[in-house]
Amino acid sequence: KTKKIAELQKAERQGLLKRYSEFEGLELGIDDFKFMAGLLNGYPEQAFYTVDLIKEIGLNEVKKSSHLIVDFTTEKVIKVLDKYEKDEKALNFLYLLSRFDFISYDLIFALVDDEKIYPNILKDFFASAICEFLGANKEYIRVNDAIRDYISTIRVSLAPEHLQKLKEHHEKFIREYKTEEKDIFDK
């Protein structure tokens, strides 16, 4: 079984681009480096592809065809998501998770009904590098930036049951927040 490579954070992406371009003998000026780094959104292979593309067709051509770098990630995301093409429950769950920058386990399982199926889907998302843990105790989950960006771009709607649960949770939060606020001022 191969180990999946997790996405890189912004500083890591920039560092990899800088180190690999230097390793390959490319000297990118500050503005060019910022431009190229701004196109990167998660997977290490994208930084390697960017440098290799600059070596192959030149910096000016890559800047004119910057969509190639962005498309590289889109193609990778599509390949990852193809695994779930026939699994509507998994895709709808991913669409829900993608609505948040990060989300706690507690909130996830307050929004989904079947606590038998979703933990297994979540494990599979981690194994596929679709999601990663956040927090000192890994109590939060975050969807890979490239995948979240792609889902945002294709503008999918939430499943009605997830939308309803999210609405109910939001309303409950507002009610409890107002009650707590009132209690504080009453003392």
Query: Per-residue pLDDT tens for 6-55?
Result: 567 778 888 989 999 999 999 899 999 999 998 887 778 888 999 999 99
Give residue 5's pLDDT: 53
Expressed in percent and rounded to 5, the helix, strand and coil fractions of the chain are: 65, 5, 30
pLDDT digits 0-9 by tens, 108-153: 888 887 778 888 999 999 888 889 888 888 889 999 888 888 898 8
Parallel, antiparallel or unpaired: strands 103-104 and 140-143: antiparallel
The per-residue pLDDT for range 65-109, each reduced to its tens digit, is 888 888 887 888 888 889 999 999 999 999 999 999 999 988 888
How many other C-beta atoms lie within 10 A of the C-beta of residue 16? 19
Q: What is the pLDDT of residue 25?
A: 92
